[in-house]
Amino acid sequence: MTTLTALPPVRPASTSLNGVATALVTPFTADGALDERALRRLLDLQVTAGVSGLVPLGTTGESPTLGRAERDRIIGLTVEAAAAAGPDRPTVIAGTGTNDTRATIEATRQAAALGADAALVVAPYYNRPNQAMLEAHYLAVAEDGGLPIVVYNVPSRTASNIAAETLLRLALHERIVAVKEASGSLDQLAVILRDRPSGFAVLAGDDIWTLPLMALGGDGVVSVASNEVPEAMVALCAAASGGQWEAARRVHEQLLPLFRANFAGAPNPAPVKAALAMLGLIEDRLRLPLLSLEQDARPMLREALLAAGLAPSAPAAVEA
């Protein structure tokens, strides 16, 4: 097990992990710098909409392209915005996962020092650990990281699936409190929901899975679409958690074109950043190796925004 000094006390999550946690984009200026003004604006919109969680530095936040000082600043701004919401503030779940266990522990401890409530830890990518290695990685981070851990399973990006049996063993650890499940396997999801221990939250890792997951007893979603439509995603989860399935289905169907368009034409977050630019909320800027959404994919995205009840501006030029 990785050994580090000055282990911070484990910070309990400020609220239960359920409902909508927004996987925040990271806005950039024309010169490629962090756009703090735009990030504050996005955070205010999320808090006002009543989301239950804020997730900076995930895949949608382009975390691999951010430097240490930028990551710290983004977490700090997110914690500040959450604190301003008062007693019912959203939980801050900072992305800290890497393919290096020691680096993940250090990033998790730094997030704890900055005031995050929990850490989103993606399965190690590139080095393709087996199930025993995955289990050892998460247990080490849980023991030494100083924050409750949300496991992030997304084999389409990491090339390694965290099997249901492995996750269920991890869920027995008191500091491993939830999973963002994006395997795309209904079979795996059903087993996890059936056999999870009490108090362990299961969150959809794809917006399109929100309603099916909650119908099976799941707790909510880490959402890309809530960058664009936070109120609608809050309504969807509230209806589903209250057993109002017809109302939940109506919202799901209205947002279905947006769920699809957010992952069409380019890797996430290129589509959602294009959408937010169409809505006048950020500049359409990404960091290489990602590029802005191509023009031929934009009509589908504009139509999806209109179907969701939003009013995109005229098509913007492609930006690098």
Give the integer Cα–Cα distance in Å for 281 and 161: 35
Asked whether the CA dihedral 22, 56, 167, 268 is positive or negative, the reply is positive
Cβ–Cβ < 8 Å for 225, 233: yes
Annotation says 273 is catalytic: no
In this structure, the chain runs to a length of: 320
Residue 131 to residue 115: CA distance in whole angstroms: 31
Query: 125, 138, 180, 273: which one is catalytic?
Result: 180
SS (H, E, C) 19-72: EEEEECCCCECCCCCECHHHHHHHHHHHHHHCCCEEECCCCCCCHHHCCHHHHH
Point out the catalytic residue in the list 125, 126, 138, 152. Answer: 152
Q: Kindly state the DSSP code that residue 176 receives in the 8-state scheme.
A: E
- Phi, psi (rounded to 5 degrees) for 154: -140, 75
Residue 243: φ, ψ to 5°? 75, 15
Distance CA 189, CA 164 (A): 8
What number of helices (H) and strands (E) belong to the chain?
A: 12, 8
Single-letter amino acid code for the residue at 21: A
Is residue 180 part of the annotated active site? The answer reads yes
Amino acid, single-letter form, for residue 320: A
Host H or E run for residue 74: helix 68-83
Residue 8: φ, ψ to 5°:
-75, 155
Catalytic residues: 152, 180
